[in-house]
Amino acid sequence: MMLSNREIQIAMDTGRLIIDPEPLPRAPSYVGESCPYSTSSVDLTLGDEISYFRESLAMNIDLRKGQFRDLFGPNSVTHRITQQQPYSLEPGKLVLGKTRQIVSFPMTESETCLAGRIEGKSSYARCGLLVHFTAPTVHAGFSGTITLELINQGPLPILLYPDAPICQLIVEEVKGLPFVNPSRFQNQSTAGGA
């Protein structure tokens, strides 16, 4: 079951969902004010790093030979972006970004666990931006920044700025208590998973 904006805020108040820093304001105080809570999701913002595989690598990607972060780390480039120097995502290019926020879905035996999905924002989607390729799930028990697989499928470059409301988190209840099986990206703080 998908949580409403009010239920998302209750989950944050009770510690079933942690988003740090917390998206604010919790409700618009006047018509037209930007509020990160839609009726059934909360906006997350882009962090200040963009990473991607270096150009012209003479290699094939073979994840049987190790974890993604071990392959990506030494073969990638990371750019810090600012309001004055955004990243220009060219058509057809894939880069990894991360959310500014750390998102945590603690698992406890006393309450129903929560999990989430990351989805794009329609204004960016209409320009051709995908924020995840096939990996929208944020599992129960996860804690860390959320990596975004940013792909420009549109005809024009898209400027990526830090703190832009780049995606929305949809929160859902998990039926039953899952056994602990941490993600390989648990506690990640970089787009590459480290």
Nearest of 91, 107, 114, 123 to residue 169 by alpha carbon: 114
Active site residue 55: no
Sign of the CA dihedral with 93 first, then 128, 63, and 75 last: positive
- Distance separating alpha carbons of residues 112 and 11, to the nearest angstrom: 10
Distance CA 135, CA 75 (A): 22
Neighbours of 108 (CB within 10 A): 10
Q: Are 171 and 2 in contact (CB under 8 A)?
A: yes
In angstroms and rounded to an integer, the radius of gyration of the C-alpha atoms of the chain is 17
71 DSSP assignment: H
Catalytic residue among 111, 119, 149, 172: 149
Rounded-to-integer distance, Cα 139 and Cα 129, Å: 24
> Which value, to the nearest 10 degrees, does the dihedral of the CA atoms of residues 114, 119, 121, 125 take?
180
Write out the catalytic residue numbers: 149
